[in-house]
Structure 1
Amino acid sequence: MDASASRTPVRCRAFRRAFLAVVLLCCAVCGAGCEGPGAASARRPGAATASPVTVPMAADDLQSAYQRVIRQALPSVVQIEASRDLGSGIVYDDRGHIVTNAHVVGAEKTFRVTTAGNEEPLTASLVYSYPQQDLAVIKLDRVPDGLKPAVFGDSEKVEVGQIVLAMGSPLGLSSSVTQGIVSATGRTVSEGSSDGGTGATIANMVQTSAAINPGNSGGALVNLDGQVVGIPTLAAADPNLGSAAAGIGFAIPASMARTIAGQIVREGRVVDSGRAALGITGRTVVDDRLQPAGVAVATVHSGGPAAQAGLRTGDIITKVGDQSITTITSLQEALAADEPGQRTTVTYQRDGAERTARVTLGEQ
């Protein structure tokens, strides 16, 4: 039950150039053809016609921006092969550390990695996997010449409407690029565990319309400055079709990826997750209409926040702070919005009576 938890306007140079081109085009059109009703008769016979104005091509500018970013960022994206899975990764540093999704590495310890400058796969070993945030770091056993670390951007500066490119190996097609925009920020998303995910609930995710397919996981979501702003992790599922919903993908924010990967590289593990914890394990319970009605406490971790607040096995949690709790997922999402050390209230039922406890949240 854990979670992590002033934007500065970012303007894209390509957009500015495109806007300028449109303005110039409008000026040219108006100068040549937006004349008053008597303009034709007032023009002197034989008068010189103004030369057409040459207008910059906005589409060419945007295309050039795409190509520049791809040349800059794609060499930092690798393909990762496990024995039964395939995904992508991002070169974290020049020592061969690669950050990816925990669900890409699974329970395995060794991998084959194909980098931009090597046709033959290289071998790599697991450094540490952190399923709670669906992040992991592996390390190349031999660092090839020319290995290029990615540039990680500031997730706080990501804005809705920014153009982004998703880079990775969807369906095994290495070095593939798709484009879209940032559709939303600050999403809290829970992964499934039955379909290969870690079951993690992840806060502050970046939603994008750029296509994210199997194999993209662990790759790079890049802005037009060539900075990694997220790690594509999963696509939304259409509940009616049971398949991925087109144009709705989610990426772990780059700042979180950098924080977790940095700890793994320095310490060999995560020492400061930033994810709030209640210190219990639980399960969803239903009411007499078979509707989800809360989370039953299965175990209370000794010395943890819940234990210190007096919660016991069998208590049914129905609210954290002001947020109603009906399922284990809703409890995870409520905690994802909080931080370790934060004080909150937990409303629960015991022996048919409702009670409230003050809890100081811990850390996973």
Structure 2
Amino acid sequence: MSKKYWAVTGALGCVTLLLAVAVIATPLFVVPLEIRMALNSAGKQSAPAATAQSGSTGLPLAGASAGQNSLVALYQQTNPGVVSIEVATVRGGTLRGAGAGSGFIYDDQGHIVTNNHVVDGATQVAVIFYNGQQAEASIVGTDPNSDLAVIKVDRLANGAHPLPLGDSDRVAVGESVIAIGNPFALGNSMTAGIVSAVGRTIDSGATPFSIPRAIQTDAAINHGNSGGPLLNLSGQVIGVNAQIASETDANAGVGFAIPSNMVGRVVPALIEKGAYAWPWLGVSGGSVNLSIVKANNLSVQEGAYIDSVTANGPAAKAGLRGSSGTRSVDGVDVPTGGDVIVAIDNTPITDFVNLLVEVASHKPGDQVRLTVLRG
């Protein structure tokens, strides 16, 4: 079938979702890391105990006194900037749900960053600092699309301090990292490991939005680590721990953190406005692969394949088309007839994640020019 390139210009919409990525079903469970549990009758947590574990392929701890000392110093430096979070949902005087998660101090004004899914629906939020001191917190802003939220306490505990953000775009595979948080409500727990991969894409969990450039780590993170920091050896936050992939719903050495550069973009808006406005095109799909090329007789090997287009969204108004059928390739039904986006404003789009990142770099209302291979 003859293929032609064409260009469209359209405005990026301003709504509370971003592009959605089609996900192939696997036997893995990708689960958020908060704990849903019943609070004890006193509503208190026992004095926090610091524990540490090594990741499956992490830092050379055994027999390496220098490495041990550096980790001890790093923990002592950063732990005062990490908090445990307890949440409860009370309606009509009845406890409807409770949970626990983690967070880190963002600034001296008492703002604390955590995951949206930790505080979503909570009517009561309590923060437990590194020294056991507790404080009530209010929810300042939430963004389900990035799974980020900001809560605030009136006053930080003595010795508690903000943690600086690092540049997640400079994180390298093999880099040593630590995670500090509240796994299974065991506050002040540290684990160590490495960056296993960068550039992963994870679901937000609450909306069709997919979070690009997530960091994968083998540092042991479990339920309750949600919202806690993933730190480099300079004590900088490079990610916010959010999910694990596991066949058993428990840590299997595959954890994911929301990149710090997304935190740096979203959190100031949550503090100022209580929400973040994401641009979107209104399409879902996946990256061009060999099966897509064969099924659609494509002349390109890269790009973002459009499987469906949101009705009345920016892409639909600009004339983009989704799949219209399927074709069997090696015994697998592959979508056909969808457009392929190969560039935005002359910037090449190599895959669907690249499309997500490029769209996210714009503001709602921006005009963009798409170069499209018509399906």
Task: Evaluate the alpha carbon distance shift between residue 189 and residue 114 of structure 1 in structure 2; reply closer, same or farther with a 3 A threshold.
Answer: same
Structure 2 match to 1:228: 237
Structure 2 match to 1:2: 18
Structure 2 match to 1:59: 64
Distance 1:118 1:220 in 2: 19
Task: Evaluate the alpha carbon distance shift between residue 110 and residue 199 of structure 1 in structure 2; reply closer, same or farther with a 3 A threshold.
Answer: farther
Task: Evaluate the alpha carbon distance shift between residue 81 and residue 320 of structure 1 in structure 2; reply closer, same or farther with a 3 A threshold.
Answer: farther
Could you say what secondary structure the match of 1:338 adopts? helix
Structure 2 match to 1:277: 280
Cα offset for 1:318? 2.8
Structure 2 match to 1:248: 254
Q: Percent identity between the aligned chains?
A: 39
Distance 2:160 2:70 in 1: 23
- Greater shift after overlay, 124-133 or 134-143? 134-143
Name which of 106, 111, 118 aligns with 1:104: 118
Unaligned 5+ runs, structure 2 = 1-16, 21-61, 89-97, 286-304, 326-336, 344-350
Could you say what secondary structure the match of 1:318 adopts? coil
Distance 1:311 1:126 in 2: 39
Name which of 302, 312, 322 aligns with 1:300: 312
The reply to whether residue 115 of structure 1 matches residue 129 of structure 2 is yes
Distance 1:314 1:109 in 2: 43
Unaligned 5+ runs, structure 1 = 5-56, 283-292, 324-330, 348-354, 357-364
Distance 2:322 2:200 in 1: 31
Structure 2 match to 1:344: 370
Cα offset for 1:254? 1.3
Distance 1:73 1:305 in 2: 45
Could you say what secondary structure the match of 2:141 adopts? strand
The reply to whether residue 205 of structure 1 matches residue 214 of structure 2 is yes
Cα offset for 1:114? 0.5
Structure 1 match to 2:73: 68
The Cα RMSD (Å) is 3.2
For 1:85, give the aligned amino acid.
Answer: G
Distance 2:276 2:101 in 1: 22
Structure 2 match to 1:159: 172
Cα offset for 1:159? 1.1
Structure 2 match to 1:36: none
For 2:282, give the aligned amino acid.
Answer: G
Structure 1 match to 2:246: 237
Report which structure shows greater RCO (CA 8 Å, sep ≥6).
2
- Greater shift after overlay, 246-255 or 142-151? 142-151
Distance 1:315 1:125 in 2: 48
Structure 2 match to 1:147: 160
Distance 1:313 1:207 in 2: 31
Could you say what secondary structure the match of 2:338 adopts? strand
Task: Evaluate the alpha carbon distance shift between residue 73 and residue 143 of structure 1 in structure 2; reply closer, same or farther with a 3 A threshold.
Answer: closer
Cα offset for 1:166? 0.7
Cα offset for 1:130? 0.4
Cα offset for 1:298? 5.5
What is the TM-score when the length of structure 2 is the normalising length? 0.63
What is the TM-score when the length of structure 1 is the normalising length? 0.64
What pairs with 1:30-69 in structure 2 (closer than 5 Å)? Answer: 59-69=64-74
